[in-house]
Structure 1
Amino acid sequence: MSLRVAIVGAGIGGLTAAIALRRRGIDATVYEQAHELKALGAGVAIATNGSRVLTDLGLGDAIEALAGRVRGYAYRTSTGAALPIDPAALSLGDPERTWFLHRGEFQTALARALPDGALQMGRRCVGVTETPEGARVDFADGSVVEADVLVGADGIHSRLQGTVTDPADPVSEGIMAYRGLLPAERVRGVVDLDVSAMWLGPRQSFLLYPVSSGRLMNLVAFVPTTLDVEESWTAPGDVAELARAYQGWDERVLQVIGAMDETFRWGIYDREPLDRWSTGRITLLGDSAHAVTPHLGQGANQAVEDAITLAATLADASTGDVPDRLALYESLRRGRTRLVRNQAREAGRLYRSTEVSPAEQAERLRGIYDSIHINDHDAEHVATEALSRVGASR
């Protein structure tokens, strides 16, 4: 193996980056502060732009086995009427190549794809020192790791972000989400169990899709709030309070809420784009670099795109190449992630609009999804083409 890469954070982006780097002969190790990967009760959609990457890495069969497969998408008003658009015309991810996953199960599948020793738990980073030749990471247990490249994949509350640039403050939409999982059998006959469905209504929205091989349904209910709500998937919520927020909505929504045992609150925030992601030897990835609201389901997908882009740009690099390769990685990802961040915010506003007709909602949704090219964006191809142009110019 050539380069030594230390990745701080065992989220979706960090684990995918380690797998992709090791496929290219790069010695990548993930360091995670938690002592175990916990199966957080949250769903995640891996659309075509993400599933393409993971399939090419040889993970398709293992991840597809965990997915709640859907035959299509449904968009409805708060009263249950269908939006006047064919969901198949929206470029939001071919359902044949989109995986709806339980985040914990997905994370575990990625971790299992790494060899022994490539994921080290209970390693909390407490300090970083960068030199022209590499980076040193100090851990709370007194251990030290030296690497040619350090990747901060430690999430929306990234500690490593501050080693690269001034940290970005949270930006709230004035929205919080109730999240929950419930057995699919409880709502059989109430909703289609093989459809990803969204209800759009004044000031709030409601999303439902299958996960865990179809055994569970994942719901996310977005409601307005004036409170500072934790950026957490595990803050307890109140099912009765959730039900009150949707009084007067489509009866199917109320029946789904009535089938829940528990719910969790999640504050919806993103971050203003950073002025930079990289130094000579340190770079950021995923939410550490570009936190995004969840309204296009692209947070995890953009982290996967980051991961394959980083691996492709570091392929066959010498230690002396690293600063230029990290600069190339950042240049390839900044514009796309900024576009996705802006369009996710616009989608959230549109879902909850009080002034836009269903017909206009449908037309504007089409434009948002078309703009980010979920079905046809190939991050690995973009990166390899860019790297070949750099080589040809020398």
Structure 2
Amino acid sequence: MASLGSKHNFDVAVVGGGFAGLCLAIGLIKHNIPVTVYESAHRFGEIGAGVSLGSSAQRAMIGIDPRIAQGFENVATYNDWDSMKDVYFTFRFGEGPDAGKEFAHLRHEGRSGGVHRAHFLDELIKLVPEGVAKFGKRVVDVQQLPDGKVNLRFKDGTEATHTCVVGSDGIHSKIREYILGEDDPAAQAVFTGKYCHRGLIPMDKAIEAIGEERAVNSQFYLGHDSHMLSLPINKGNIFNVVAFSSCKTWDHEKWVVPSETKDIHEDFKDFGEPVQTIINMMEHTDIWALFNHLPARTYVKSNATIIGDAAHATTPHQGSGAGMAIEDSYVLSELMGRVQEPRDIQKAFEAYEEIRKGRTLNLVETSRQAGMIWEMQDPGTAGEAEKIAANASERWKWIWDEDLESEIKRGLALMGKA
């Protein structure tokens, strides 16, 4: 129910309490819109370790609530060397006679910061008032009622009804399935042919093993059918490693499976130093299969929509999935802030889809392409360093340089609120 102090005659259910869901909730609260966040787990939590957030995502944080941006800065880590402050990643050969040698610096004027997912989530949680979130609420069914409201049924047997629902429930989204229909091929994620090993190593140990330059500044090591990236997180105290490889199919029921040391050594057997030394420091790594979504024909069904991974789950090969989710939250919260009556909610959702769908689906496709380039599988670059460097220098510009204020203005115009 809408609160007595609200100028908005509706309320919002946000399903999923990750970056996207919490950022959206904070934005809606700023506009005095009643919101309830339903989280399936018994507490907030993020899967994975390090994540990079670039300039557009950081501008979105400021737009939603400057306290989000401050929370990000509280936990963000940048390249340590002054000469590398504007470098997103240094690209190096991973294999062959030039193994370890750099061949390109990808520069980013706005700076990208690396954070531990759990640490940034903790900063977001601080901004969500007590009572907004409900835990242990896994959605099992969604129904639109005759009056247009949305009824959510949870695994624990309880139900809740809200004027509208926003699914930020990740790659396994039940809200996406409701919007598209469970028989739609795009309703479920598909394997991308890539998987990764993840590792967190104490920074002092990494510096001793591979030298300060490569440990405290972000690096890419490229090779055939595998590649590795590393970046400092946790205020420079942790050396975060993600080692990617390829396979045609994923035959395991689970997406994360235990790994033996020999597995990662086999994947990177043709790589030289410092990759071999880094691998030797990675203990007890699991294998994470990488899935993404096929393009959704729509993000909207009446008073329901999806954001973040629920809308456009992508591979991490451009490091921008989390940033796009925060952008979604900013744009949608601003559009919803101009809605006063329930009848206008679908207009806001459709405007959001119109301005965000193309950009976000493009991220999924270009990220898939990037994974092929980094592993010498792309015919256009053919594993040639100069071509890869040229491609990388242009690849992120459209991601980092987006004018989100113009997106919002266009959305408001579509709603008739300009």
TM-score, normalising length: structure 1: 0.91
Distance 1:375 1:9, change over 3 A: same
Q: Indicate conservation of the 8 Å contact 1:68/1:214, yes or no.
A: yes
Give the 3-state SS of the residue equivalent to 1:114 in structure 2.
coil
Question: Which residue of structure 1 lines up, in the alignment, with residue 223 of structure 2?
Answer: 201
Q: Deviations over 1:30-53 (max 9, x none)?
A: 101111234644211111111111
Q: Which has the higher contact order (CA 8 A, sep 6+)?
A: 1
Give the superposition deviation at 1:181.
1.1
Shift of 1:232: 6.7
Q: What is the CA–CA distance in structure 2 between the aligned matches of 1:325 and 1:55, rounded to whole Å?
A: 21
Q: Shift in Å at residue 239 of structure 1? A: 2.9
Matched, 1:330 2:330: no
1:260 deviation in Å? 2.1
Displacement, 1:196? 1.2
Q: What residue is the counterpart of 1:52 in the other structure? A: 59
CA distance in 2, matches of 1:232, 1:307: 29
- In 2, distance between residues paired with 1:328 and 1:364? 32
Unaligned runs of 5+ in 2: 1-5, 80-84
Q: Deviations over 1:131-166 (max 9, x none)?
A: 343212122333332211101111111112121113
1:161 partnered with 2:176: yes
Q: Does 1:239 align with 2:240?
A: no
Contact 1:230 1:266 in 2 (8 A): no
Q: Shift of residue 384 of structure 1?
A: 3.1
Tell me, in whole angstroms, the C-alpha distance in 2 between the residues paired with 1:60 and 1:369: 21
Tell me if 1:278 matches 2:300.
yes
Is 1:351 matched with 2:374? Answer: yes
Which shows bigger deviation, 284-293 or 237-246?
237-246
CA distance in 1, matches of 2:26, 2:292: 27
User: Matches of residues 208-223 of structure 1 in structure 2 within 5 Å?
Assistant: 208-223=230-245
Distance in 1 (CA, whole Å) between partners of 2:155 and 2:332 is 27
RMSD: 2.1
1:77 pairs, out of 82, 88, 93, with 93
Q: Does 1:143 align with 2:183?
A: no
Alignment partner for residue 321 of structure 1, among 330, 344, 352?
344
Q: Deviations over 1:148-201 (max 9, x none)?
A: 110111111111212111342433332211112111111114143331111111
User: Given residue 76 of structure 1, which amino acid in structure 2 is its aligned partner?
Assistant: R
Q: Counterpart of 1:178?
A: 197
8 Å Cα contact 1:231-1:267 kept in structure 2? no
Do residues 125 (structure 1) and 139 (structure 2) align? yes
1:124 to partner: Cα distance? 1.8
Letter in 2 for 1:221: A
* 1:383 equivalent in structure 2: 408
2:121 aligned to which of 80, 86, 107: 107
Distance 1:313 1:229, change over 3 A: farther
Q: Is the 8 A contact 2:355 2:410 kept in 1?
A: no
What's the % identity of the aligned pairs? 28
Distance 1:347 1:369 in 2: 11
| Stretch deviating more after TM superposition (263-272 or 223-232) | 223-232
Within the candidate set 9, 13, 24, 1:17 is matched to 24
**Residue in 1 that maps onto 2:388:** 361
Q: Work out the CA distance in 1 between the residues paired with 2:404 and 2:412.
A: 12
Matches of 1:126 and 1:174 in 2, distance apart?
A: 29
Query: CA separation in 2, counterparts of 1:292 and 1:225?
Result: 17
When normalised by structure 2's length, the TM-score is: 0.86
- Report the equivalent of 2:82: none
Pair 199,64 (structure 1): closer, same or farther in 2 beyond 3 Å: same
Sort the Cα spacing of 1:182 and 1:364 in 2 relative to 1 into closer, same or farther, 3 A: same
Q: Is contact 2:172–2:189 with CA below 8 Å preserved after alignment?
A: no
Q: Which structure 1 residue ranges, 5 or more long, are not aligned?
A: none
Partner of 2:34: 27
